[in-house]
Amino acid sequence: MGSVLVVGDVLLDLDVHGTVDRLCPDAPVPVLDVTGEVARPGGAGLAAALLAGSGVRTTLVAALAEDGDRVRDLLAPTLDLVPGPATGGTPVKCRWHSADGPLLRTDTGTGRPADGFGETVRAGLRRALDDVGAVLVSDYGRGVTADPQVRRMLADAVAAGTPVVWDPHPKGSDPVPGVIMTPNAKEAAGALGLTGGDPVGCAAELRRRRESRAVVVTRGDQGAVLVTASERVAVPALDVTGGDPCGAGDAFAGRLAAALAAGSSLPAAVESAVRTAGRFVEAGGAATVRCVEGRWTQIGAGVTERAS
């Protein structure tokens, strides 16, 4: 199986669990008595951790702030980490839960690449690109994909024939030409200045405007649509019962890159990615991802394919 290089913005996801049996005396808000906390990498970190946990040799290039030791400790034992400097503190998304369900989410930190980020990671990025089967660009709008040095090297990888999967973000930078874009339906329409529209038409127009090799629009429980210069392929979703879609885009894009690195055709890689994302959702999404015996994995149930 070919190796995968992940380039993008790393977050820290925290789930804080507790019990509520009273209100605060000075305001009508619940008091959460904390019983536990679960930490895991988020953003590009989640995509890379899932890849490494599935047995794919994975390198991650990302910006880490000075307070990023916790993220580093989560990632460094499981994959090859090439960090560059970041400012504004580690981006942390903290979800607060009681036994009855979520209470609140708080966001802190910006984690934007510091001046000289591209030069700092250049050597490590070059080494990874020289020995990689595919690249996944996981853009979470923090600025790694806007770095000129990084963009030049990604464009060089496309020119050399390396498959580059680009998972975009509404606040991120435009993909370099020649990549395989993986927006969801809302992101695809939004990139065209629309509020909705036919996914196939949106994918075709987005591919033309961005000069992409292909656009794969993910559609949740409706599967995905692949559009290239010569083909349009609809891939149905799995028959999923319940679950949580949080993190499904990372699971999808990572599996797509891994399948291409292993030599799959693009249509076959999209089918594999749809299956992986469906299983990920039904197993409980990102909230069920844990590091078990040094490997990031998911605790949950499987799914069956929907009959055609």
C-alpha angle 202-207-213 in degrees, rounded to nearest 5: 145
CB 232 within 8 A of CB 215: no
Q: Is 250 a catalytic residue?
A: yes
Report the DSSP pairing between strands 30-43 and 10-23: antiparallel
H or E element, residue 47: helix 44-53
| Amino acid present at 103 | L
Q: Is 264 helix (H, G, I), strand (E, B) or coil?
A: coil
Helix or strand run (H / E) with residue 168:
none
Contact partners, residue 113, CB within 8 Å, separation at least 6: 63, 84, 85, 86, 87, 142, 143, 144, 147
Report helix, strand or coil for 308.
coil
**Distance from C-alpha of 133 to C-alpha of 156, rounded to nearest angstrom:** 14
Identify any residues that bridge with 252 across adjacent strands, giving them in sequence order: none
184 contacts: CB under 8 Å, gap ≥ 6: 217, 218, 219, 220, 249
Of the residues 13, 139, 147, 250, only one is catalytic, namely 250
Q: Token match 């990139």: residue?
A: 191
Category of 134 on φ-ψ map: left (φ > 0), alpha (ψ -120 to 50) or beta: beta
Please give the Cα distance from 259 to 4 (Å, whole number): 10
Encoded tokens for 66:
């000075």
Tokens of 24: 């605060």
Active site residues: 250
